[in-house]
Amino acid sequence: MIGYPTKKGLPKINGSARSANASLNQSRGMGLEDDINESNEYYLETNRACIHKKPTPIQVVRVDYPNRAHAKIVEAYYKVPSTTDYNGVYRGKAIDFEAKETRNKTLFHFKNIHPHQIEHLKRVLYQGGIGFLIIRFTALNETYLVDAAYIIENYENPSLKSLSYAKIKEHGSLIREGLTPRLHYLDNVDEMYFKEE
């Protein structure tokens, strides 16, 4: 058996101050990605979870070296991501999710999700990980956590091109918003995936 480090041994990020300032200086609703990144930083600082956004995949074609210390990329292109944007570890489980915003007030269109993101979430579930989507209806100012299995089931139904707001409200879990963290989404994860424990 492996000896895990104790909480005491975990690194301290000189952080509570930093993220509190960030929250005070910035108005809320900076966009879903910012909200999730800030929430993940808070969860990291408080040792509640270890979840990160993956870097955007970029194909580097040409690099210059204007001086010995720095490489300057002068030609590169964005690549289509082959996985979701966020993953990490929480309560012993692998967590994997994608975040999407829509201005639509009545539905979430499936064209917002890449097919390979659906495939990736399938693989995550098959391996026993926890997978979901965080969907924000910007016009309604509501953000939901929706289980990946439910998304996949509907996505693969050829008669459906979208999920209605009503269905998301019924099958998803409304994420509480606040100052720190901006999105209390791990409370929804606790409620949806760890309730029986």
Contact residues: a copy of itself, CB under 8 A: 1-5, 7, 9-11, 44, 47, 49-50, 52, 54-58, 60, 70-79, 82-83, 87-96, 119-120, 122-129, 147, 149, 152, 193, 196
CB of 79 to a copy of itself, least distance (A): 8
Q: What is the Cα–Cα distance from 137 to 107, expressed in whole angstroms?
A: 9
* Closer residue to a copy of itself in complex, CB, 100/171: 171
CB of 15 to a copy of itself, least distance (A): 12
* Closer residue to a copy of itself in complex, CB, 54/105: 54
Helix (H, G, I), strand (E, B) or coil at 12: coil
Burial (CB count within 10 angstroms: exposed 0-12, middle 13-18, buried 19+), residue 15: middle
Residues 6+ apart with CB under 8 A from 149: 125, 131
* Closer residue to a copy of itself in complex, CB, 29/57: 57
CB of 141 to a copy of itself, least distance (A): 28
CB of 173 to a copy of itself, least distance (A): 13
Ranges of beta strands (E only) in 138-184 are 142-147, 162-164, 173-174
- The tokens for 183 are 């999105």
* Closer residue to a copy of itself in complex, CB, 83/143: 83
* Closer residue to a copy of itself in complex, CB, 36/137: 36
What distances in angstroms separate CA 177 from CA 89, 106, 110, 185, one per listed residue?
22, 21, 25, 8
Q: What is the Cα–Cα distance from 139 to 100, expressed in whole angstroms?
A: 13
CB of 106 to a copy of itself, least distance (A): 26
* Closer residue to a copy of itself in complex, CB, 9/158: 9
CB of 118 to a copy of itself, least distance (A): 8
Closest CA to 107 of 144, 81, 149: 144
